[in-house]
C-alpha cells in the first residue's frame, strides 16, 4: 500500500490503483518504488544503531545492478560488494568504484584483479593461486593490497568456495610470505540464500571467532564478514514451510556467536552483504493478460523476465481487484517451457485480454537475470511521491532489435 499526501491528507494507494495509474505504459515493465528501498536501508541502520556491535551494511551488486539502485544505495552510504569483473566495470562506469568496494568470487582473472587493485578495493581470497597472482600484480604496480580470507562454512552446503578449516593455518602462513604487498584485514563466510534459521548465523559467527582468536589475528584485522543470505519476507521459496524471522533475530544470533571476540575487540566491523533483503520488495513487474481460457491465464511475460516465477510464491495483484475471485486457475508465462508457470494455482477475478496483473517482489534477480529469450527485455520505471502526485521516470529503455543485433558482426 502506497502513501500519498493530498491537500494535507493521507491517501492510500493500492497495488490495483497503481496498475490503473500506469496504464499508459506498454507491458511488460518493471516498476521500482524508491520509498521501499529507503525504508529497507533505514530499517537495517536503525537495527545497527541499537546494537553494541560495529555493523556496516554492504549490498550484493549481482542481485540487481540497475544503475538507479546502485546510485541510490551509494547515496545512503551502503557499501557495494561485487563478484566479477563485469560488476567492477559497471561500478567504474558509474563512478562508484572506490577503496570501499569489496570483491568476492572464486574466478577473478589477472585483468580483473589488476583493475580492482588499482582502485584500492578489498579482495576476498579464495585460493593460493589467487594469492600468488595478487602478489605479482601488487609487486608490478608497487601497491599494498588489502585482502580478506574467504572461509568455507562448517554448517552449510556452500563449501564450493573458500578455504577449508584444515587449510586455514597454512593459508595464513602463506599470506605472511607476501606481507610486503598484502595485508590481511578480515575474514569472510557465506552460508547461502533465503536463510530462515538465525542459528546458522550464530554457528558461522562462532566459527570465524574461533579462527581469529586461535590464530591471534583478531589483534590486527579490521572486520568479520558474514556474507548475505538474509531473506525476503514477501515471496518465500516454494519448499520453505516456515516464515522468516525478524532481522533483529539474525543480529542477535550473530552477536551471541561473537561474544568472546567482542570482549577482546569491540571495534571490529561486522559486515553484512544482503542483496535480496534490500531490493526484492522494491520492484514489481506489470504484465498483460493474453488469454484466459481452459483454466489457465497466459501473460505477455514469463520466466525470461522473472527467473524465479516457478520456485517462489510471488504475490499477485489484479487491475480488477475489487471484484470477487471467481475461479482458481494456473498462471503461465509466454514461453514454450514446462517451467514457465507459477508453482500453484491462483484465484482470479474475471480477467479479459489486455487486463493487467502486477507481480510483486521481483527486485532480486529479476532485472539482473532477465534475458533476451523470445521477448525483448522490459523497460524499468521508478516512481516516487511528491506532496500531491506520483512521479514516474523511465530509468532503462525497452530493448530493441538494434540493441540486440549491434553485438553481432553482420
Task: Give one DSSP letter per residue of 263-290, joined into a string.
Answer: HH-TT-EEEE--SHHHHGGGEEEEEEEE
- Does some domain include residue 127? yes
- Does some domain include residue 338? yes
pLDDT digits (tens, 9 = 90+) for 272-327: 999 999 999 999 999 999 999 988 999 999 999 999 999 888 999 998 665 667 78
For residues 268 and 302, state if they share a domain: no
- Does some domain include residue 252? yes
pLDDT value at residue 2:
53
In total, how many domains does the chain have? 2
Q: Is the pLDDT of residue 1 over 70?
A: no
* 365-380 average pLDDT score: 93
pLDDT value at residue 8:
46
pLDDT value at residue 307:
92
For residues 12 and 65, state if they share a domain: no
| pTM recorded for the entire structure | 0.94
The more confidently predicted of residues 244 and 218 is 218
Whole-number Å distance between alpha carbons of 160 and 170: 19
By mean pLDDT, which of 132-146, 272-286, 312-326, 351-365 is the weakest?
A: 312-326
Q: Is the pLDDT of residue 12 over 80?
A: no
pLDDT value at residue 20:
86
* 29-57 average pLDDT score: 96
- Does some domain include residue 133? yes
Whole-number Å distance between alpha carbons of 165 and 378: 45
pLDDT value at residue 240:
77
For residues 272 and 296, state if they share a domain: no
Q: Is the pLDDT of residue 15 over 50?
A: yes
Cis peptide before 285 (omega within 30 of 0): no
First to last CA, the chain: 49
* 243-268 average pLDDT score: 96
Last residue of a domain, one of 250, 279, 308: 279
CATH number at residue 291: 2.40.37.10
pLDDT value at residue 319:
81
Q: Using alpha carbons, select from 342, 262, 267 the residue that is nearest to residue 299.
A: 342
Q: What percent of the chain has pLDDT over 70?
A: 94
- Does some domain include residue 410? no
For residues 64 and 49, state if they share a domain: yes
Q: What is the largest distance, in Å, between two alpha-carbon atoms of the chain? A: 71
Q: Is the pLDDT of residue 10 over 60?
A: no
- Does some domain include residue 228? yes
pLDDT value at residue 220:
97
Q: What percent of the chain has pLDDT over 90?
A: 77
For residues 151 and 193, state if they share a domain: yes
For residues 309 and 233, state if they share a domain: no
CATH number at residue 85: 3.20.20.10
pLDDT value at residue 389:
73
Last residue of a domain, one of 279, 295, 318: 279
pLDDT value at residue 391:
86
Last residue of a domain, one of 259, 279, 299: 279
Buried b (16+ CB within 10 A) or exposed e, 29-51: bbbbbbebbbebbeebeebbeee
For residues 176 and 312, state if they share a domain: no
Whole-number Å distance between alpha carbons of 82 and 98: 12
- Does some domain include residue 206? yes
For residues 25 and 39, state if they share a domain: no
For residues 137 and 7, state if they share a domain: no
pLDDT value at residue 4:
47
For residues 252 and 371, state if they share a domain: no
pLDDT digits (tens, 9 = 90+) for 155-201: 877 667 889 888 999 999 999 999 999 999 999 999 989 999 999 99
Q: Which domain holds residue 365?
A: 2-33+281-405
Indicate the average pLDDT of the chain. Answer: 91
For residues 287 and 361, state if they share a domain: yes
For residues 318 and 258, state if they share a domain: no
For residues 222 and 268, is the Cβ–Cβ distance under 8 A?
A: yes
Amino acid at each position: 500500500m502506497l502513501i500519498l499526501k493530498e491537500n494535507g491528507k493521507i491517501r492510500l494507494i493500492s497495488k490495483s490503483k497503481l496498475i490503473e495509474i500506469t496504464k499508459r505504459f506498454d507491458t511488460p515493465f518493471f516498476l521500482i518504488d524508491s520509498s521501499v528501498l529507503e525504508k529497507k536501508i533505514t530499517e537495517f541502520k536503525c537495527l545497527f544503531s541499537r546494537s553494541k556491535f560495529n555493523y556496516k551494511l554492504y549490498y550484493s551488486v549481482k542481485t540487481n545492478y540497475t544503475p538507479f539502485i546502485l546510485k541510490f544505495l551509494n547515496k545512503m552510504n551502503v557499501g557495494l560488494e561485487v563478484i566479477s569483473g563485469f560488476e567492477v566495470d559497471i561500478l567504474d562506469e558509474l563512478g562508484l568504484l572506490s577503496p570501499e568496494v569489496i570483491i568476492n568470487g572464486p574466478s577473478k582473472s589477472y585483468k580483473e584483479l589488476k583493475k580492482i587493485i588499482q582502485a584500492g578495493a578489498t579482495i576476498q581470497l579464495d585460493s593460493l593461486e589467487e594469492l600468488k597472482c595478487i602478489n605479482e600484480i601488487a609487486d608490478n604496480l608497487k601497491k599494498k593490497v588489502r585482502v580478506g580470507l574467504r572461509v568455507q562454512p562448517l554448517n552449510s552446503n556452500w563449501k564450493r568456495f573458500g578455504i577449508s578449516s584444515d587449510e586455514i593455518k597454512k593459508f595464513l602462513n602463506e599470506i605472511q610470505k607476501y606481507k610486503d604487498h598484502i595485508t590481511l584485514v578480515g575474514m569472510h563466510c557465506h552460508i547461502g540464500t533465503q536463510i530462515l534459521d538465525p542459528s546458522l548465523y550464530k554457528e558461522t559467527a562462532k566459527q570465524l571467532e574461533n579462527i581469529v582468536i586461535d590464530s591471534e589475528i583478531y589483534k590486527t584485522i579490521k572486520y568479520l564478514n558474514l556474507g548475505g543470505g538474509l531473506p525476503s519476507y514477501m515471496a518465500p521459496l516454494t519448499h520453505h514451510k516456515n516464515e522468516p524471522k525478524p532481522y533483529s533475530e539474525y543480529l542477535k544470533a550473530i552477536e551471541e556467536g561473537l561474544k568472546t571476540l567482542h570482549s577482546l575487540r569491540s571495534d571490529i566491523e561486522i559486515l553484512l552483504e544482503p542483496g535480496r533483503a534490500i531490493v526484492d520488495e522494491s520492484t514489481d513487474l506489470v504484465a498483460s493478460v493474453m488469454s484466459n481460457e481452459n483454466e489457465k491465464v497466459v501473460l505477455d511475460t514469463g520466466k525470461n523476465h522473472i527467473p524465479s516465477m516457478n520456485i517462489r510464491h510471488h504475490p499477485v495483484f489484479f487491475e480488477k481487484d475489487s471484484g470477487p475471485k471467481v475461479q482458481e486457475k494456473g498462471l503461465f508465462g509466454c514461453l514454450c517451457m514446462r517451467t514457465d508457470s507459477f508453482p500453484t494455482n491462483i484465484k482470479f477475478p474475471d480477467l479479459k485480454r489486455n487486463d493487467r496483473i502486477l507481480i510483486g517482489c521481483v527486485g532480486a534477480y529479476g532485472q539482473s537475470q532477465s534475458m533476451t529469450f523470445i521477448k525483448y527485455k522490459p523497460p524499468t520505471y521508478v516512481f516516487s511521491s511528491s506532496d500531491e502526485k506520483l512521479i514516474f521516470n523511465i530509468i532503462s529503455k525497452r530493448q530493441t532489435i538494434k540493441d540486440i543485433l549491434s553485438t553481432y558482426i553482420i
